[in-house]
Chains A and B, each alone.
Chain A
Amino acid sequence: MLGFLGIMALAQPPIVFAVANRIEPWVLGVPFLYAYLTVVYALLCGLLLMVWRWRL
C-alpha cells in the first residue's frame, strides 16, 4: 500500500509539476512529460500485478 502511494505521488502535484513538466530531454523519441508519466504508470501496474501474483 505504501509502495503504491509512494509511486503514485510521483505522478501527482507537486512532483509532476516541479520535476516532470518539460519537453526535453526526449525519451526514445517521446517528450519527457509523457514518457515520465508512462514510466510511472508502468511501475504502478507492475506493482499491482506483483501484489496479486505473490498474494501480498
Chain B
Amino acid sequence: MEPWLVATSLIFLYLMITLAIGLIANRRLSTDAEDFLLYGRRAGPVVLYLTMVATYHSAFAFLGSGGFFYTHGVGFWVAGCWTILVGAITYTLGVRIWFVGKQFNYVTPADMLGDFYASEAVRIVAAVVSIVFTILYIQVQAQGLGYILSVASGDRVPFALGTAILLVVAATYLMLGGLRAVYWTDVLQGIWMYVAVWVGAVVLTVRLFGSPLELWRRVAAERPDLLTLPGPEGFFGPGMWFGMTVVLSFGVVLQPHMLIRFFSANSARTVKLLGATTPLYLASLYIPAAFVGLAGALVMPGLEVPDRIFPMLLFEHAPAWLTGLILAGATAAAMSTLDSILHSNMTVLTRDVYQRYVNPGASEQGVVAVGRLIVVALLVVAFVLSISSSELIVVVVTMSAAGAMQLLPGVCAVCLPAPRPLSKAGVLWGISSGLLTLYLTTVVSAHPFGMHGGIWALGVNWAVAWVVTRFSAAPDEDRVERIHGALEEFIYGADANP
C-alpha cells in the first residue's frame, strides 16, 4: 500500500474514534447546562490530567518545537522552565481559582472578575480579552490541521478541505457531548501524541545516528553553535529566556480554555495533584522534540520552513505505518487544543453574553441549544480565519498568551487576599495600558532591549493598576470580605491541605 494512503487512512481512523467518543459522551450528557459547559464540575484526576496536558500542548509542541530546536538549538530547552512553572501556578493559584469557582458558581474568568468587582465593565473587558486572544489562536491550530492532512496525503487532500474536515469533526463531537466529549477525546489525544512524538523521535534518531548520544556527539562536531546560548541567530538572550518563561506559563494558564479546567475539577486535591505531576509530561515532551530538531539540522539543513522537519524526516526515514500513526498524533495535538478553544469561546459567549445580557431567564436546555449554535458560528469563523492571511491576525496571534496574561493582576486580586486589593478602576486602567504596551512592544518595536514584550506589558499593567488604586474607590468591602474570607477559611481552616 502507498505510504500516503496508509498515513491518511490512519488519520481518518483516528477521526472516527474521536467521533465515536463524542457519541458516547452525548449519551451520558444531562440537560444541565453546567454539565455541558463544565463537565458538572466532576472531572477527576486522570481525565483532567490528560486534558490539561493535551490542551496545553498544541500543534506547536508537535511541529513547531522541532523547528525551534532546528533553528535555535538547545536554547529551546527553556521550555522546561515554563512548563514546570505551569505546575507551580496550578498548585498555588489554580487551587484557589477552583475554590472560588465552586463556592460562588463561576464558569468563566469574566464571571470571577465581574463578581469580585461588582462591575459590568470589568466583566465585559475580561470577556473580550478572553475571546480576542484565543479565538484567533484557532487559526494556528486549524492551519496546522490542514497542513498535517495535506502533508500526510501527499497534497491529495487540499489544505482548505483538510482544515474543513478536521474542524467539522472537532465541532461535531463538541456539540454532541460538550466539555465531557472534549475531555474524553483529550484523554485519547494526550496519550496518542505523547507516545507518537517519543516513538517517532527515537526511531528517527536510532535509524539516522545509532543512538541519541551519537546524535549529541555529531551536533557538537558539526554544529556546536546549536549547543550554547543565545543560539545561531542570537534569539535566546537573557530577556527572551526570562520573558518566555513568564509569558508561556502565566499567559497560557490565564487563557480561558485552561482556566475553565480548574473550574471543572472535582476537588482541590485533584488540582494540587495536577500541579505536582503535569510538569513531568509537559516538560518531557520537549526531549524528543530536541532529537528531531537537532537531527534535522544535521541531515536536512537549510529548510525554508523548519516546522516541517518532523514530517519530512518521517516520510524519508520511517515506515509508512509509523508515519501515519505519528501524523495522527500530530492531528491529536492540534485537535485537543482546537476543541478546547472552541469550547471556551462558546462558554464565554453563552455565559457572559447570552445568559447575562440577551436572555437572563433562559432554561438549561435553551442555554445548551444556544451553546451548540455558537459552536456552528465559531466553526465558520475558524474556517474563514484558517484560509485567510490577514496581517492583523498574525499580530494578535503573536500576542495571544501575553494578551491573556494581562488579566493576571485582577485574578491575583481575587485569589490572593491582601489588605488593599486592586480597585475596579485600577484593574481596568491596568489592562488597557498593558494591552497598549503589549502592542507597542511586540508590533511597533518588538521586544525592546531584548526583553519579551509581554514582560513590559505586565510591568506597566501592574504599575498603572497600583497607582490608580491609590487614587480611586476601593472595591466593596462586604463583597471582598465574602470572597477573601471564604478563601482564607479554605486555605488556613480546618480542611486546609486536602
Interface residues of A (CB under 8 A from B): 1, 4, 8, 11-14, 16-17, 21-23, 29-31, 33-34, 37-38, 40-41, 44-45, 48-49, 51-53, 55
Q: Say which residue of B81, B213, B276 sits within 8 Å of A11 (CB atoms).
A: B81
User: Is B277's CB under 8 angstroms from A49's CB?
Assistant: yes
* With A8-B81, A31-B74, A48-B84 as contacts: A21 and B229 at CB distance below 8 Å: yes
Residues on A with C-beta less than 8 A from B238 are 13-14, 17
* With A8-B81, A44-B84 as contacts: A13 and B241 at CB distance below 8 Å: yes
User: Is A23's CB under 8 angstroms from B80's CB?
Assistant: no
Residues on B with C-beta less than 8 A from A12 are 81, 241-242, 245
What's the nearest-Cβ distance from chain A to residue B84, in Å? 5
What's the nearest-Cβ distance from chain B to residue A44, in Å? 5
Residues on A with C-beta less than 8 A from B13 are none
User: Is B91's CB under 8 angstroms from A41's CB?
Assistant: no
* With A21-B228, A23-B227, A41-B80 as contacts: A33 and B74 at CB distance below 8 Å: yes
A44 to B494, CA, bound (A): 29
A52 to B88, CA, bound (A): 11
What's the nearest-Cβ distance from chain A to residue B282, in Å? 10
Interface residues of B (CB under 8 A from A): 74, 77-78, 80-81, 84-85, 87-88, 91-92, 213, 216-217, 219-220, 224, 227-229, 238-239, 241-242, 245, 272-273, 275-277, 279-280, 283, 290, 497
Q: Say which residue of A14, A23, A29 sits within 8 Å of B213 (CB atoms).
A: A29
What's the nearest-Cβ distance from chain B to residue A39, in Å? 11
User: Is B216's CB under 8 angstroms from A52's CB?
Assistant: no
Residues on A with C-beta less than 8 A from B224 are 23
A13 to B497, CA, bound (A): 33
User: Is B228's CB under 8 angstroms from A52's CB?
Assistant: no
Residues on A with C-beta less than 8 A from B81 are 8, 11-12, 41
Nearest residue, chain A, Cβ from B80: A41
What's the nearest-Cβ distance from chain A to residue B434, in Å? 23
User: Is A34's CB under 8 angstroms from B229's CB?
Assistant: no
User: Is B275's CB under 8 angstroms from A45's CB?
Assistant: no
Residues on A with C-beta less than 8 A from B283 are 41, 45
Nearest residue, chain A, Cβ from B87: A48
Q: Say which residue of A14, A21, A29, A49 sits within 8 Å of B276 (CB atoms).
A: A49
Nearest residue, chain B, Cβ from A7: B84
A8 to B85, CA, bound (A): 9
* With A4-B88, A41-B84, A48-B91 as contacts: A33 and B245 at CB distance below 8 Å: no
Most chain A Cβ neighbours within 10 Å, of B74, B84, B290: B84
Residues on B with C-beta less than 8 A from A23 are 220, 224, 227-228
User: Is A52's CB under 8 angstroms from B91's CB?
Assistant: yes
User: Is A52's CB under 8 angstroms from B273's CB?
Assistant: yes
Residues on A with C-beta less than 8 A from B219 are 31
A11-B78, A48-B87 given. 13 additional CB < 8 A pairs?
A12-B81, A12-B241, A14-B238, A31-B74, A31-B227, A33-B228, A37-B77, A41-B81, A41-B84, A45-B84, A49-B276, A51-B91, A52-B275
What's the nearest-Cβ distance from chain B to residue A4, in Å? 6
A27 to B464, CA, bound (A): 47
Residues on A with C-beta less than 8 A from B88 are 4, 48
Nearest residue, chain B, Cβ from A28: B213
A55 to B273, CA, bound (A): 10
Nearest residue, chain A, Cβ from B75: A33
A1 to B239, CA, bound (A): 23
A53 to B269, CA, bound (A): 11
What's the nearest-Cβ distance from chain A to residue B45, in Å? 12
Residues on B with C-beta less than 8 A from A22 are 228
Most chain B Cβ neighbours within 10 Å, of A8, A33, A38, A48: A48
24 A-B pairs with CB atoms under 8 Å apart are A11-B78, A12-B242, A13-B241, A14-B238, A16-B241, A22-B228, A23-B224, A23-B228, A29-B213, A33-B77, A38-B80, A41-B81, A41-B84, A41-B283, A44-B279, A45-B279, A48-B84, A48-B87, A48-B277, A51-B91, A51-B276, A52-B275, A52-B277, A53-B276
User: Is A29's CB under 8 angstroms from B216's CB?
Assistant: yes
Residues on B with C-beta less than 8 A from A30 are 213, 216
What's the nearest-Cβ distance from chain A to residue B91, in Å? 7
Residues on A with C-beta less than 8 A from B290 are 34
* With A13-B241, A52-B273 as contacts: A31 and B279 at CB distance below 8 Å: no
What's the nearest-Cβ distance from chain A to residue B176, in Å? 35
